[in-house]
């Protein structure tokens, strides 16, 4: 019973009015085909595919799940046919290089495609979605021969790809990886070990699956400095790219999971599976981060997808469900009760969902422009600067947006009341499917340590300074310059945002001083600090959207209610959600002794 309509109006608002995407595309000759007409056609056709083909498989796929039988995995009914339509429609090749069979369109367009598909059916979208990270890693670190063999098939969708990192004894701490790679005389390697939690690791959609595997060479240094990266196909591949017999990669089982049941999460056994080195020896972790940034932005997108799907269905239900009368007087006297949308608490949950969804989408699309730049900029210094911008904002996106997506999903279940707990409505599935997003590709805690420990303290706040100066520059432009006719209207956003950014800078300095005295401060403060940073970051994008909406309303634009709604939602965010930073500012400054003063025995309830 889930409904979904692709939010094309909102997507085009961000593309055209907030982020000036077409001006961005004109910077690069490679993107000359990304004209407004072509982009609009892509949006429309992608929406049709998602609404008509993927959405109907969402709940049925969850109910059926994947089937495991003696090493083989069968995906739910309709998944294979939908995947073939996806490939035939050219969707897999959309934003990949022309030299490997791609269409050469911007990565940012691929992000929009991924959002629509992920909202309509996240489990299905993970199958082609996992390929993109593997492809990016081969594109950046592979040899020309490797690109020719693997990227062509991955681009056309004949093969899919995965990333095999986690092992039974280690997840985040990859220094414990035990999988081995023994060199052969022909330059290949025999890879042996077990990998777990491999999303889309085994399925029946394609003839081959290309695994990017972390493993250790003989006599490699201990810890993360001794990890290398290998391309290991499920089925043997010759030098011409032809598929042969088994490559000794077998699926031992698939996990029985809380959510994303229609996507196979596999245990893979590599038994002298033949692979080739990707990148340099013992530099696998560095190469892997090419994949990880891509994967983490993609996971952040899951938070937006969940928020969108939960909001759309909550809004429909709240308009139709009748319960009690409005506290300010009957609104629907011809009905037995008023729709629950008239009640302030329900309205608060709906507005929270809307603010999360649209604010999160803006954060993702801002980042997608940076991804475009990293792929296209030729000057190494400028490219490194863009890469640092991406590296700074990625943990905020990944952790904050997935936590907020989970909040939106739970609000949806609450709006539905008891019906939300019943499977036929689909709301409890959104909650289950979304919960994993805060865990895989690095938990919220790991992202928080990356942000505060590595991106802030280790770099002495350099990347934070660049980002906050960008925000303050926007605030100055919109509040000080006489050229902004909406200066007075924007003050209700600009001044709270400026103050929040100033406090962000001040509190970061305070935390850094505390951390010098006690390193536990980093661990105790990090999650609160990340969420604090996330709320301020989202406020920046809500301010930009409000400015763009005021500018549109100053013209004779149609659909004026859309732009009024943007401003009202921005007001809600600044009045009801940005103040959450105040409590987070207190808790992240709290002494870690309250966390650490109980020893293990006293923590026990026995």
Catalytic center residues = 441
Task: Please name which of 409, 377, 397, 389 lies closest in space to residue 310, comparing C-alpha atoms.
Answer: 409
Task: Mark residue 240 as left, alpha or beta (left: phi above 0; alpha: psi -120 to 50; beta: remaining).
Answer: alpha
Structure tokens at 122: 């996240």
Whether the CB-CB separation of 184 and 219 falls below 8 Å is answered with no
Asked if residue 207 lies in contact with residue 158, where contact means CB atoms within 8 angstroms, the answer is yes
Q: Answer yes or no: are the C-beta atoms of 402 and 445 closer than 8 Å.
A: no
Adjacent-strand bridge partners of 273: 191
**Residue tagged 């011409």 (tokens):** 240
Q: What's the chain's Rg over C-alpha atoms?
A: 25
Number of Cα atoms under 13 Å in the Cβ half of residue 331: 15
3-state secondary structure of 168: coil
Q: Which residues contact 106 (CB under 8 A, 6 or more apart)?
A: 25, 31, 34, 95, 372
The C-alpha atoms of residue 375 and residue 100 are separated, in whole angstroms, by 15
- Using DSSP's 3-state secondary structure scheme, residue 274 falls into strand
Residue listed under structure tokens 């996971």? 299
Cα distance between residue 25 and residue 30, in whole Å? 9
Q: CA separation (Å) from 129 to 93, 199, 260, 292?
A: 12, 10, 14, 13
Describe the crossing of helices 107-120 and 36-49 by its angle, rounded to 10 degrees: 20
Reduced to 3 states, what is the DSSP secondary structure of residue 415?
A: helix
Could you tell me the maximum CA-CA distance found in the chain, to the nearest angstrom? 84
Residue 40 is classified by DSSP as H
581 near 532, Cβ under 8 Å?
A: yes
Q: Closest Cα to residue 321, out of 306, 309, 332, 308?
A: 332
List the structure tokens of 445.
């805690």
């Amino acid at each position: 019973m889930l409904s979904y309509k692709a939010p094309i109006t909102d997507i085009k608002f961000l593309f055209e009015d907030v982020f000036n995407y077409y001006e961005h595309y004109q910077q690069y000759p490679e993107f000359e085909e990304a004209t407004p007409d072509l982009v609009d056609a892509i949006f429309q056709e992608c929406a049709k595919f998602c609404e008509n083909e993927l959405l109907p498989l969402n709940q049925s796929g969850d109910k059926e799940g994947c089937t495991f039988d003696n090493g083989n995995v069968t995906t739910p009914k309709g998944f294979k046919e939908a995947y073939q339509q996806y490939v035939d429609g050219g969707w897999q090749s959309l934003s990949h290089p022309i030299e490997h069979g791609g269409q050469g369109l911007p990565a940012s367009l691929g992000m929009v495609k991924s959002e629509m598909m992920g909202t309509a059916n996240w489990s299905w979208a993970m199958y082609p979605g996992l390929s993109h990270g593997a492809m990016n890693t081969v594109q950046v670190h592979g040899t020309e021969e490797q690109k020719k063999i693997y990227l062509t098939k991955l681009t056309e969708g004949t093969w899919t790809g995965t990333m095999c990192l986690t092992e039974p004894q280690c997840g985040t701490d990859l220094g414990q990886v035990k999988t081995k790679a023994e060199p052969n005389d022909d330059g290949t390697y025999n890879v042996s070990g077990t990998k777990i939690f491999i999303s889309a690791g085994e399925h029946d959609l394609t003839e081959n699956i290309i695994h990017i595997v972390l493993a250790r060479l003989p006599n490699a240094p201990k810890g993360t400095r001794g990890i290398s990266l290998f391309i290991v196909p499920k089925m043997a591949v010759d030098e011409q790219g032809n598929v042969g017999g088994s490559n000794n990669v077998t699926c031992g089982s698939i996990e029985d999971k809380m959510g994303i049941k229609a996507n196979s999460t596999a245990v893979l056994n590599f038994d002298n599976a033949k692979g080739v080195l990707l990148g340099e020896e013992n530099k696998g972790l560095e190469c892997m981060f090419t994949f990880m940034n891509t994967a983490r932005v993609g996971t952040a997108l899951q938070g937006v997808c969940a928020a969108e799907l939960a909001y759309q269905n909550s809004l429909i239900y709240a308009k139709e469900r009748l319960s009690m009368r409005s506290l300010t007087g009957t609104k629907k006297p011809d009905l037995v009760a008023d729709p629950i949308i008239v009640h302030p608490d329900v309205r608060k949950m709906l507005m929270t969902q809307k603010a999360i969804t649209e604010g999160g989408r803006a954060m993702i699309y801002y980042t997608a422009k940076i991804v475009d730049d990293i792929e296209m900029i030729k000057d190494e210094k400028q490219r490194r600067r863009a890469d640092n911008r991406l590296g700074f904002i990625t943990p905020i996106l990944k952790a904050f947006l997935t936590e907020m997506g989970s909040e939106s999903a739970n609000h949806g279940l609450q709006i539905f009341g008891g019906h939300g707990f019943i499977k036929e409505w689909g709301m409890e599935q959104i909650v289950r499917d979304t919960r994993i997003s805060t865990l895989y590709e690095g938990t919220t805690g790991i992202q928080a340590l990356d942000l505060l420990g590595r991106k802030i303290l280790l770099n002495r706040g350099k990347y934070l300074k660049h980002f906050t100066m960008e925000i303050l520059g926007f605030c100055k432009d919109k509040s000080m310059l006489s050229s902004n006719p909406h200066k007075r209207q924007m003050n209700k956003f600009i001044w709270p945002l400026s103050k929040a950014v100033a406090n962000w800078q001040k509190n970061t300095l305070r935390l850094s001083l505390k951390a010098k005295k006690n390193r536990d401060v980093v661990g105790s403060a990090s999650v609160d600090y990340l969420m604090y940073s996330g709320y301020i970051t989202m406020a920046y994008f809500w301010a930009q959207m409000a400015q763009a909406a005021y500018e549109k309303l100053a013209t004779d634009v149609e659909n004026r209610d859309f732009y009024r709604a943007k401003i009202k939602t921005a007001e809600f965010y600044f009045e009801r959600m940005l103040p959450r930073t105040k409590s987070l500012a207190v808790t992240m400054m709290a002494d870690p002794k309250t966390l650490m003063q109980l020893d293990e025995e006293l923590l026990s309830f026995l």
